[in-house]
Amino acid sequence: VDIVADAAASDRVLLVFSAMKGITDQLLFVANEAVTGSAAVGKQCAEIRNRHLEVVRELISDGASTTVAVDALCDELAELLHGVSLVRECSPRTRDLIVSHGERLNCIILTAALADAGLNARMVDGRSIIRTDSTHGSAAVDFKYTHKLIRDEFSHDTPIAGDIPIITGFIASDAHGVTTTLGRNGSDYTASLVGAAMDADAIEIWTDVDGVYSADPRSVDSATVLDAVSYREAMELSYFGAEVIHPFTMLPAVEKGIPLLIKNTMNPSAPGTVIAEHTSAQAGLITGIASIESVALVNIEGGGMVGLPGIAGRVFGALAEARVNIIMISQASSEHSICFIVRDPQADPAVSALERELELELHQKKIERVQVERDLEIVAVIGENMRGRPGISGRLFSSLGDAGINVLAIAQGSTEMNISFVVHRSDRKNTLNAVHRAFFPGETQ
């Protein structure tokens, strides 16, 4: 409430809220429980209701009408879940309707809490401003129509003084008015869509960390919050599971060149990280270090592949058919082996698909084997300033050499914004620290 009051004092703000922490997970869980006909569903439903009612009691001085509204929505939820437990099946469409209750409940409460603090808050259901197709669970946005809906809702010649819309994130509707959702963490996406449609000055993402870190602060004590990163760096970082914003989510903002600001709700005075066109003026040779845990390396090796066109095509075709997602690829110019990295659970499906596809070559010994190595980690150094600068890989790999860390594979994209390499999981912490020391020397003294 303080953060909103502060912002609304000087600017026009539109707010997007997600569900309370853990509620979406809990709703998905209860939906699945209901399918089994479990008797625990009633209890879990009551838990969800109580948690929200407790917040009403805590936040709102006269909470009578909010309690009624929360109760009504929880009744509806209970009825839906009862229906699911009767028919023992929950379609993706029903699941979307069930999870939509998380955002709707939270926004009812927050609207009342802000009104209670004297602000002119009004709730706007995301389903009335975000139009999607009918791919339940992660629906595709109809940008043109959504843009129009948002403009119609919020863009008045004379905005209502002090009007603060409280928008339910994550939820949307299709052309028939049926509830859809934008995929997990979709509230950021809602915010980006609304901000872009409104030509906002900034889109702020309020989370529970101080911003984007130079490296995982759980592993690197000297990691620091970056004051700024470029859109492209943020995308590279989030591909690596750094908890920034999903690249997809950023696109509406990027298209309009609207800066995104990552702020900490628990520490609002911290400056946060700005994501915009250019990287930080303070950025050194690299901007940050990112990593992906629990990956496996699949290696295809054999002298018979040398000079044989089409093998890579078949390998990746077979993997695509098996719906295996490849995170990193490397082939040495001897063509003697191709290796690629997948998330651990996809390693076995990858190998089966390849053994099927390459059966003949394996039989003829043109390919000796398809091998998997597990318990690995991809680490990547990322930064705009790496482009066209010699000596970065030298510094990177000598720091690893000095720390006695063995590198299993290396890849650099031609954008030169990212050098990725693979190490054993047991070397993770040493690797991150060695690289951080090599590129952020000032921070480690």
Q: Which residues bind ligand ASP (CB under 6 A)?
A: 18-19, 24, 102, 169-170, 184-188
Q: How far is the CB of 240 from Mg ion (least distance, A)?
A: 20
What residue 102 binds from ligand ASP, Mg ion, none (CB within 5 to 8 A, per partner kind)? ligand ASP
- When the beta carbons of 206 and 440 are compared against ligand ASP, the nearer one is 206
- When the beta carbons of 18 and 399 are compared against Mg ion, the nearer one is 18
For the chain, the distance separating the N- and C-terminal CA atoms, rounded to the nearest angstrom, is 40
Q: How far is the CB of 64 from ligand ASP (least distance, A)?
A: 27
Q: How far is the CB of 95 from ligand ASP (least distance, A)?
A: 13
Q: Is 249 in the site for Mg ion (CB under 5 A)?
A: no
- When the beta carbons of 245 and 297 are compared against ligand ASP, the nearer one is 245
- When the beta carbons of 245 and 378 are compared against ligand ASP, the nearer one is 245
H or E stretch at 203: strand 203-207
| Segment contacting Mg ion by CB under 5 A, of 12-20, 78-86, 215-223, 268-276 | 12-20
Q: How far is the CB of 145 from ligand ASP (least distance, A)?
A: 22
Contact 213, 201 (CB under 8 A): no
Q: Is 66 in the site for Mg ion (CB under 5 A)?
A: no
380 vs 410: CA distance, rounded Å:
10
DSSP string computed for 308-345: -TTHHHHHHHHHHHTTPPP-EEEE-TT-SEEEEEEEGG
What residue 433 binds from Mg ion, ligand ASP, none (CB within 5 to 8 A, per partner kind)? none
Residue 347 CB partners (closer than 8 Å, separation 6+): 296, 298, 372, 374
Q: For residue 316, give Cα distances in angstroms to 30, 120, 160, 296, 432.
A: 38, 55, 56, 16, 30
Q: Is 181 in the site for Mg ion (CB under 5 A)?
A: no
Tokens 């990177």 appear where?
A: 396
**Secondary structure of residue 229 in the 3-state scheme:** strand
Q: For residue 66, give Cα distances in angstroms to 21, 89, 356.
A: 20, 32, 60
Q: How far is the CB of 426 from ligand ASP (least distance, A)?
A: 32
* Residue-wise burial string across 200-236, b where 16 or more C-beta atoms lie within 10 A, e elsewhere: beebbbbbebbbbbbbbeebbebbbbbebbbbbbbbb
Strand ranges in 129-168 using DSSP code E only, listed in sequence order? 163-168
Tokens read off for 274: 């700005």
Q: How far is the CB of 50 from Mg ion (least distance, A)?
A: 21
What residue 383 binds from ligand ASP, Mg ion, none (CB within 5 to 8 A, per partner kind)? none
The residue of the chain with the least Cβ separation from Mg ion equals 18
Contact 367, 415 (CB under 8 A): no
Residue 384 CB partners (closer than 8 Å, separation 6+): 230, 232, 233, 278, 279, 283, 287, 417
Contact track, Mg ion, 293-312, x by CB under 5 A: --------------------
| Segment contacting Mg ion by CB under 5 A, of 11-19, 212-220, 258-266, 298-306 | 11-19
Q: Which of 280, 244, 240 is nearest to 260 (CA)?
A: 244
Q: What does the chain come to in residues?
A: 445
143 vs 131: CA distance, rounded Å:
8
Q: Is 18 in the site for Mg ion (CB under 5 A)?
A: yes
What residue 170 binds from Mg ion, ligand ASP, none (CB within 5 to 8 A, per partner kind)? ligand ASP
What residue 184 binds from Mg ion, ligand ASP, none (CB within 5 to 8 A, per partner kind)? ligand ASP
Contact 302, 368 (CB under 8 A): yes
Number of residues in contact with Mg ion under rule CB under 5 A: 1
| Segment contacting Mg ion by CB under 5 A, of 14-22, 30-38, 43-51, 61-69 | 14-22
* Residue type for position 284: G
What residue 169 binds from Mg ion, ligand ASP, none (CB within 5 to 8 A, per partner kind)? ligand ASP
Q: How far is the CB of 248 from ligand ASP (least distance, A)?
A: 13
Q: Do the bridges between strand 163-168 and strand 179-181 make them parallel or antiparallel, or are there none, so unpaired?
A: unpaired
Q: How far is the CB of 360 from ligand ASP (least distance, A)?
A: 45
- When the beta carbons of 166 and 409 are compared against Mg ion, the nearer one is 166
Q: How far is the CB of 165 from ligand ASP (least distance, A)?
A: 17
- When the beta carbons of 18 and 273 are compared against ligand ASP, the nearer one is 18
- When the beta carbons of 188 and 216 are compared against ligand ASP, the nearer one is 188
Q: How far is the CB of 181 from ligand ASP (least distance, A)?
A: 8
- When the beta carbons of 170 and 439 are compared against ligand ASP, the nearer one is 170
Q: How far is the CB of 26 from ligand ASP (least distance, A)?
A: 10
- When the beta carbons of 182 and 432 are compared against ligand ASP, the nearer one is 182
User: For the chain, how big is the Rg over CA atoms in Å?
Assistant: 25
* Contact residues: Mg ion, CB under 5 A: 18
